[in-house]
């Protein structure tokens, strides 16, 4: 049995308490300053209001003001804040970190750092005091994992990743159950790039549903009810190609892109959720500034990730580190989100980074 503290009481951080608690670990669920209503419900009713489930008896909820108590005797810290909260989380955790602690990140995303792309575990590490950052280990989770399904104890398959292979077997023992299947990897860059880029790509795939609705509204229903699955599939595939390009650029392993953290996680993210809903609104013809008004109070990680990584991508294109034709999907999405540009992809520019494909022949 281990003492595990989860910082961030959102759906994914809380869902992870289910397999860990089923393994008889001692779980402490600490809300951020934005989670008071969630923690209040968990304390009074033992119900997580967003998961709509009773939390495990082995889980004790804490307000953020009680973090010092929650961190006592902790061995593993699970970070479940959103990507905007990583810098804050480093400050929040720093006073309570001790040598030997393991910090495992659920948070997904990337940042631009001095003209280079940075994965969030490295961002977190860089924002911790120098005296402790080299005395703790960092891990992360990648793979298709819808929080509601995990909390329902449906079969879920993920990868735990760390640059320190010695900690992975212990983490697997703490969390793996008959329904939570955990592989391990040391490809921190590959896994983290995949899980960061899945959200912008899912946002782009979601455009297809909105385009169908818009066309139906303007022209009436298609006589044979034709959809735009071909359109969405090409974006899905180009997204994987661009992910592979960046993984290779940053020194990760390409095979990670075509397994659970890449193709698997991207598939499940395109099946619903906030990014798909935002994509649908954009596809319907709303500008991003108007679409945001339709989703008040929701953090759209695909938007945050696209905006966060673009400064580094632009710098790297200018310096020649990235081919100017390599990332048409991500660059087009950036224009749609920041310039209210129309939804219009140059499909003939896709797959330029794949040497096995020759450019397409375009006819009128």
CATH dotted code for 3-186: 3.40.50.720
Asked whether the beta carbons of 279 and 209 are under 8 A apart, the reply is yes
Q: Please report which residue ranges of 16-158 form alpha helices under DSSP H.
A: 17-22, 36-44, 67-70, 86-93, 120-126, 130-133, 147-151
- Pairing verdict, β 47-48 and 53-54: antiparallel
Q: Which residue has the tokens 């698997």?
A: 264
Distance set, CA 287 to CA 274, 284, 294, 298, 339 (Å): 16, 9, 11, 17, 9
Ranges in the chain, pLDDT < 50: none
Domain ranges of the chain: 3-186, 190-349
Residue 353 pLDDT: 79
Residue 364 pLDDT: 61
Residue 354 pLDDT: 75
Q: 18-52: per-residue pLDDT in tens?
A: 999 999 999 999 999 999 999 999 999 999 999 99
Which residues are catalytic, by number?
198
**DSSP H or E run through 236:** helix 229-249
Residue 109 pLDDT: 92
Residue 361 pLDDT: 74
Residue 351 pLDDT: 92
Rounded to 10°, the helix 188-205/301-319 angle is 110
Residue 340 pLDDT: 87
pTM: 0.94
Give the dihedral sign, CA 13/19/20/22: positive
Class of the CATH-defined domain 190-349: mainly alpha
Q: 214-230: per-residue pLDDT in tens?
A: 999 999 999 999 999 99
Torsion from C-alpha of 256, 167, 99, 83, nearest 10 degrees: 30
């Amino acid at each position: 049995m281990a003492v595990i503290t989860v910082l961030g009481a959102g759906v994914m951080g809380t869902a992870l308490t289910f397999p860990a608690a089923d393994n008889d670990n001692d779980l402490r669920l600490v809300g951020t300053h934005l989670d008071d209503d969630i923690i209040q419900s968990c304390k009074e009713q033992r119900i997580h209001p967003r998961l709509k489930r009773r939390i495990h008896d082995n889980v004790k909820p804490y307000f953020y003001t009680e973090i010092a108590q929650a961190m006592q005797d902790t061995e593993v810290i699970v970070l479940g804040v959103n990507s905007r909260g990583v810098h804050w989380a480093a400050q929040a955790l720093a006073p309570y970190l001790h040598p030997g602690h393991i910090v495992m990140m659920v948070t997904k995303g990337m940042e631009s750092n001095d003209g280079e792309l940075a994965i969030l575990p490295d961002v977190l590490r860089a924002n911790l005091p120098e005296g402790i950052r080299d005395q703790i280990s960092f891990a992360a989770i990648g793979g298709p994992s819808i929080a509601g399904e995990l909390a329902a104890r449906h079969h879920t398959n993920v990868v735990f990743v760390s640059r320190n292979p010695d900690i992975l077997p212990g983490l697997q023992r703490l969390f793996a159950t008959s329904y939570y299947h955990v592989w391990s990897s040391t490809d921190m860059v590959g896994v983290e790039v995949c899980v960061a880029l899945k959200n912008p790509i899912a946002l782009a795939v979601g455009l297809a549903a909105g385009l169908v609705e818009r066309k139906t509204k303007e022209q009436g229903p298609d006589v044979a009810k034709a959809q735009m699955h071909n359109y969405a599939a090409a974006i899905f595939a180009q997204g994987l190609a661009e992910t592979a390009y960046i993984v290779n650029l940053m020194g990760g392993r390409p095979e990670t892109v075509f397994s659970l953290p890449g193709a698997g996680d991207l598939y499940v993210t395109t099946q619903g959720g906030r990014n798909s809903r935002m994509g649908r609104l954009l596809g319907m013809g709303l500008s991003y500034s108007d679409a945001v008004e339709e989703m008040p109070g929701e953090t759209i990680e695909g938007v945050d990730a696209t905006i966060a990584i673009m400064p580094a991508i632009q710098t790297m294109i200018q310096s020649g580190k990235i081919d100017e034709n390599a990332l048409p999907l991500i660059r087009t999405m950036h224009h749609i989100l920041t310039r209210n540009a129309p939804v219009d992809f140059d499909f003939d520019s896709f797959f330029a980074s794949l040497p096995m494909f020759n450019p397409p022949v375009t006819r009128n």
